[in-house]
Amino acid sequence: MKQTISVLVENRAGVLNRITGLFSRRAFNIESLAVGVTDDPTVSRITIIVDSGNSVVEQVEKQLNKLIEVIKVRTLNEHSLIGRELILIKVNANNKTRQDIMTICNICGAKVDDITPTSMTLELSATKEKVDTFESLMRPFSILEVVRTGVIAIQKGSGKI
C-alpha cells in the first residue's frame, strides 16, 4: 500500500543524505522522494512515498524521528501526484477573503481541493516560477501549511534521455 510520509527537517547540507542513507540501511524501499523548502526558510519538507505495510511505515517514522535533524514526521493520507512541481497550500479563509482567493486561483490556474468555514486548501501544478508567484500571492491571507514536491520533468516529443 502506497503511503505518503511528510518529514520536516533542518534545511542544511547533508540532511537528505542522512534520510536516504537511513532508507537504504534499514532496507526500506522509497517509491519517490521530493524536497522543498517550506514557508520557514530554515525548514525543508521531504515528501517520501513508500510502498509498505503499516508496521514498516511505523518503523520508518520512528527511525526518521531518531535523526537529530528531523523535526517532525507525519504519514499523510494518500494523494495522487502528477508531473512538474506541485504545491498544496492551505490558507486561512473566511467570508471576506474567500472571493479574493478564488480570483487569484482562477488567474493562476489553481484549483480548490478542500474548503472549510475557516480554511481553503489549494492545489497548483506548474513551473517552479509560477508556483513561487502563487505562493507569494497567498501569503497575505495567512498560510497555514505549504507542501511542495520539488520538480520532476520529462522530455517532450518521441525522444528519450
Q: Which residues here bind other proteins, judged by CB under 8 A?
A: 9-10, 14, 17-18, 21, 25, 55, 58-59, 62-63, 65-72
Q: How far is the CB of 55 from other proteins (least distance, A)?
A: 7
Nearby residues of 23 by Cβ (< 8 Å), 6 or more positions away: 29, 30, 48, 60
* CA–CA gap between residue 84 and residue 97 (Å, rounded): 29
Contact 94, 118 (CB under 8 A): yes
Residue among 62 and 111 whose Cβ is closer to other proteins: 62
Q: How is residue 77 annotated by DSSP?
A: P
Residue among 2 and 72 whose Cβ is closer to other proteins: 72
Residue among 14 and 140 whose Cβ is closer to other proteins: 14
Contact 143, 149 (CB under 8 A): no
Contact 8, 38 (CB under 8 A): yes
Q: How far is the CB of 92 from other proteins (least distance, A)?
A: 24
Q: How far is the CB of 135 from other proteins (least distance, A)?
A: 23
Residue among 40 and 100 whose Cβ is closer to other proteins: 40
Q: How far is the CB of 20 from other proteins (least distance, A)?
A: 10
Nearby residues of 149 by Cβ (< 8 Å), 6 or more positions away: 34, 36, 47, 81, 85, 86, 87
* CA–CA gap between residue 69 and residue 8 (Å, rounded): 9
Q: How far is the CB of 9 from other proteins (least distance, A)?
A: 7
